[in-house]
Amino acid sequence: MVGQSLLLITLLVQLGVSAAVSSVLARSRRIRMLLFHEDRDLWEKLELVLYLGGPIMLGVVVRATVKNFLAADIAFETAILLGVIAGRTAGVCGGILVSFPYLILHQYMNLPLNVIAGLSAGFLRDLTKDREVIWSFSPFLDLSIYRWMRRTIAKSFIDWQSSFFCVILGLEFLRLETRELFPGMTYALDSPNLLVRAACYVTTISIVAVALKVLNNTRIEMKLEEQERLLLQARMEALQSQINPHFLFNTLNSVASLVRFDPDTAREMILKLSKILRRLLKKSDSFVELREELEFIDDYLDIEVIRFGRDKLRVVKEFEPASLDVVVPAMMIQPIVENSIKHGLAPKVSGGTIFLRTRISGGMLVIEVEDDGVGIVEPGSEASEWSAPQHGTGIGMANVRERLQVLFNDAGRVEMESRTGEGTVVRIVVPIPHSSESEGINYDLRSGAPGSRS
């Protein structure tokens, strides 16, 4: 009687081992990525086998070396799990990997049993059209014959959930029968008591189901992160697409105003514009080095200098060399320079100067665009777009503020200082990304939807 009680306790502990190991493995970023993508190449499948099968192989060793800790051995269930998650190749390789300790222990029959388990689960995986149904497997089947027949006829001739349930039962039956035929060469928890033996079947099914549930929670988290990233990416692309037509239309208006009375200058502006458009078409990255962004500004200012005249528009640059390699959002400075010219210098009869400055201060990149124009005339006027986003209707400044909010939340900001009749300074302050953050995905997912603007 004591032996039966110990066996039942061991079966319960096995469920805990399955949940604990799955939870620990699910914390690995790499494993999360491997679980998230269903279409894996051969090396990714082998990588998944090593990640999931390695700890389980050590569990077999623990079972063999630590007295009365039989619950550490869940190799058979792991072979089934690998097969149903990653396919026949992973199931077979996983079955071989977790079986190495059995060979040392002279329990040779566990190797073919584990290989057959992984292969069978992988074959059943290939039969399903919707891979998501795999992750919803549960040991608690709907026993209503009417609902089972209705679901089967509506979906397909084979109900995957019921089939997987029966396959696990069949594999467990094969393992227990093999233990009866080769008791010294096969390890498996078993009992002559029918109720305890039934508990062994239920435990095997539950171990696979628990592991799938835990790992599926990880997949769901990854899906939510991916959807959030795609949402931010779509929003960033929408915001960036506002900038390019806005800049293009304004420049074309300038060209149109010169065509009749100064065709040579208009032709020069068209050449400059074509250079800018080639750059816009060539690169679609959301982030670029500050050096490249400033080169773009040079081309834009060349157009504006031609338009206003060299005696009315002057440009002074003060760039800290270390700042030029910092990665910044593309098309971030141009709208501010455009507003400086349009709202600050254009109303001034004598023209003025644009000052461009960049520096690194306190771990942040500081970009300043200053003009000595008219400044803020009065709240509510066209020029008051500088003062606050809620007072302005222009696309440029609102777009810059919105993009910084999406990308950096409160870490990036736009500051403004202005004196009527003396000019305006717009200061962009953004964090300096680490090298790993500037590669791959160009979006910071630290926050969800952007909050209120300051």
Together in a domain, 151 and 288: no
Together in a domain, 269 and 216: no
Measured between alpha carbons, how far is 158 from 138 in angstroms, rounded to an integer?
A: 17
Measured between alpha carbons, how far is 281 from 393 in angstroms, rounded to an integer?
A: 27
C-alpha 347, offset from chain centre: 47
On the CB side of 450, CA atoms within 13 Å amount to 21
DSSP string across 144-161: -HHHHHHHHHHH-SS-HH
CATH number of the domain that 299 lies in? Answer: 3.30.565.10
pLDDT tens per residue across span 23-70: 888 888 888 888 887 788 899 899 999 999 999 999 999 988 888 788
Element (H, E) at 58: helix 42-65
CB 313 within 8 A of CB 304: yes
Measured between alpha carbons, how far is 19 from 211 in angstroms, rounded to an integer?
A: 6
Q: Is residue 446 part of a domain?
A: no
| pLDDT exceeds 70 at position 257 | yes
Together in a domain, 194 and 274: no
Together in a domain, 185 and 321: no
Q: Is residue 445 part of a domain?
A: no
How many domains is the chain built from?
2
pLDDT tens per residue across span 82-94: 999 999 999 999 9
Q: Is residue 296 part of a domain?
A: yes
SS percent in the chain: helix, strand, coil, step 5: 65, 10, 25
Residues 6+ apart with CB under 8 A from 125: 83, 84, 85, 87, 88, 131, 134
Identify the residue with better confidence: 303 or 115.
115
Residues 6+ apart with CB under 8 A from 113: 76, 171, 174, 175, 178, 186
Bridge pairing between strands 364-371 and 327-329: unpaired
Q: Is residue 218 part of a domain?
A: yes
Together in a domain, 54 and 139: yes
Taking the whole predicted model, whether its pTM rises above 0.75 is answered as no
| pLDDT exceeds 90 at position 404 | no
pLDDT tens per residue across span 228-237: 666 666 555 5
Measured between alpha carbons, how far is 416 from 387 in angstroms, rounded to an integer?
A: 7
Q: Is residue 231 part of a domain?
A: no
Domain span including residue 173:
2-225
Together in a domain, 190 and 263: no
Q: Is residue 182 part of a domain?
A: yes
Measured between alpha carbons, how far is 99 from 280 in angstroms, rounded to an integer?
A: 57
Beta bridge partners of 429: 366, 413
Q: Is residue 245 part of a domain?
A: no
